[in-house]
Amino acid sequence: MHGIIFFYIQKFAESVTSGSTPWIQLRQTVTTSSKGYLPNQAYPDGEAVQLLQSLAQAVDEPLPSLVERFGEFLGPHLVKVAGKHIEPQWRTLDLIENTESIIHTMVRATNPGAEPPVLQTARQSPNELHLVYTSGRQLCMLAKGIMRGVAQHYSEGITIEETSCMLNGEPFCCFVVQNQAHDTHTAKSPLSETVVFDPKTGEQLVNGSGSFESTQPFVERPSKNLPSSIGGFTIKSLIGRGGMGRVYQGHDSQLNRDVAIKLMHPSRAEDEVSRKRFLRESRATAAINHPHIITILQVGEHDQLPYIVMQHVDGPNLAEYREQCGGRIPIPEAVRIAREITEGLAAAHETGLVHRDIKPDNVLLEGRQYRVRIIDFGLAREVDADEARLTADGAVVGTPAYMSPERIGVEEVDAKSDLFGIGVLLYEMLSGRLPFEGKSMVSILAAIAQGKPPQLSALAPEAPADLCELVMQLLANEKADRPADAVTVAERLAEIETQLG
């Protein structure tokens, strides 16, 4: 555990004992070293826990209660320590939502051997999020206290409900965190997509997946923060923002066309691991020449920040199009869209790349023909890469409702994970609902792990039997039970498309 925690344990001990139990006396319960803990070094986790146990005994307080109280004390200090990695407009839920990213930047990237807790969040609305916490230390009371401490820093009130707990023998803890400042409202399809809200107005700005487009572009405020140009392209507006950076609509004056420019966020560019991941996205996408994959036009740096220039797509994403169709997409159109997605992924798989985050937000429909363009290969990974994983070990990365079972567990993710994603998209297009649903992120993950979605034929009886059979095969819990590859799936979809006329 990082020495900074020991530094704050000492400060906390001094505040709760009022000097009645000297720090040196507490420290002697776990170490015989004559030196104090240095904030810039690492020490065994057990020593921190033992210090807190000794402190609990000294003040005659149950350990869980004292650990949570220490978390409240620690929260505001951690906000200050994280300083430059925190956006000025963030508030309590925004910071909690981005904590995993901050931990990666500050801890994992500089100390690869570190094992901080793994956090996964799903933003339900501007005032509610679900947090899954996993750690071998099982210090969920500390996590709860830190969240309360962060809220105190922002002078906000929050409620925390723990719906699942490792201390009760469950594999992870799940918290429902609500901001009491406003009435909580659930965003549309809350767990099928990641959403970013304006923390001041509560207005939904854009999906938080890092997608390149939005049919509701907004202008960045204040306008002075909008760069005049990037890579020789004139900047017109800010059209999206995600975990890795911002996406601008630019204009190519030489060819008289609009482009989309994804610029990495400064705080993420400082992390060499994140920087490599960002550039890998551009290389992975640019290497594929296919009509159903977004076209990368240029890669470079602007003020030492990496950027990617890609085609600007005029059209909705798949989620928006499904809404335009009233929740269900006509069967022939759904099959055509799924075939084009599968053909694009087949091309990616042939080059050794797996997308890993197939969902409606990452499928754009271009022009009057609604031709598929797959975007955001930010989680793409070389199937046979020797390089170390750029995502945190054990982290659940992606959008919960569209994850394959292997994304949740420890099994290796390969091209068949993308096939599972196609199955989820088809199921939703045809039935108007997701195959795996729940009231919280943890219940959705549990439903996916169980692998028993309702039969599509019962929800969409008008769909051809062979189409329903294919969708259920794509959703098979075991990878071996899914179709062989994307090429096979594309061929089967083409046959069904022909039968439908």
Burial 238-249 (b: 16+ CB within 10 A, else e): bbbbbbbbbbbb
Query: 204-207 and 195-197: which strand pairing?
Result: antiparallel
Of all helices (H) and strands (E), which one includes residue 236? strand 233-241
Q: Is 442 exposed, middle or buried (0-12, 13-18, 19+ CB in 10 A)?
A: buried
Torsion angles phi and psi, residue 178, rounded to 5: -125, 140
Q: How much of the chain is in helix, strand and coil states, percent to nearest 5?
A: 40, 20, 40
For residues 338 and 399, is the Cβ–Cβ distance under 8 A?
A: no
Integer angstrom CA distances of residue 463 from 324, 329, 349: 20, 12, 29
Q: Which of 303, 290, 162 lies closest to 228, judged by CA?
A: 303
DSSP string computed for 450-493: HT-PPPHHHH-TTS-HHHHHHHHHHT-SSGGGS-S-HHHHHHHH
- Tell me the CB-side half-sphere exposure of residue 289, using CA atoms within 13 A: 0
CA 489 to chain centroid, in Å, comes to 28
Catalytic residue from among 94, 271, 357, 361: 357
For residues 227 and 234, is the Cβ–Cβ distance under 8 A?
A: no
Question: Does the annotation count 357 as an active-site position?
Answer: yes
Residues tagged active-site:
357
